[in-house]
């Protein structure tokens, strides 16, 4: 039974990884649209090959914290939000509403829960 539990836990972990990787790729794509940048322009600004950016945007890249920080620096916006800092940008009422919506649905709709990056700028 323990082998089955380990296998199920690994499956859940893999699902979470894939979901988070896709969410990061989606956010980068959204930033590119907002900046009106091509993948080529973004690659130039990151000092990377365009093929690497393409891999990132496929959602199949395991980002390091350093890479995420570099991406945030290039865009001038946060890519990942740490909950303890959210209160600086989102009201308690909005956070409460979002959490209630997330609990009440199996899979929250992205458009209802995504903080608009155009509203929130990097704290730096």
pTM to 2 decimal places? 0.63
Residue with tokens 């620096």: 73
Kindly give, in sequence order, each residue whose CB lies less than 8 Å from that of residue 39, ignoring residues fewer than 6 positions away.
32, 50, 53, 54, 57
Residues 30 and 53 in one domain: yes
Domain ends where: 45, 60, 78?
78
What six digits make up the tokens of 61? 């890249």
Which pLDDT tens digits describe the chain residue by residue (124 residues)? Answer: 676 666 556 678 888 888 889 999 999 999 999 999 999 999 999 999 999 999 999 988 899 999 999 999 999 998 887 777 666 777 778 878 877 887 776 554 444 344 444 434 444 3
Residues 67 and 105 in one domain: no
Residues 71 and 91 in one domain: no
Residue-number span of the structural domain to which 98 is assigned: 81-124
Residues 14 and 50 in one domain: yes
Residues 31 and 67 in one domain: yes
* Domain count along the chain: 2
């Amino acid at each position: 039974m323990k082998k089955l539990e380990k296998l199920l836990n690994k499956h859940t972990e893999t699902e979470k990884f894939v979901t988070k990787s896709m969410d990061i790729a989606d956010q980068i794509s959204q930033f590119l649209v907002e900046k009106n940048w091509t993948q080529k322009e973004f690659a130039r600004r990151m000092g990377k090959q365009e093929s690497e950016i393409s891999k990132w945007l496929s959602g199949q890249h395991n980002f390091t914290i350093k890479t995420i920080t570099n991406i945030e620096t290039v865009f001038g916006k946060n890519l990942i939000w740490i909950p303890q800092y959210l209160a600086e940008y989102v009201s308690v009422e909005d956070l409460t509403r979002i959490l209630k919506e997330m609990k009440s649905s199996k899979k929250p709709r992205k458009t209802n829960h995504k903080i608009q990056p155009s509203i929130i700028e990097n704290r730096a």
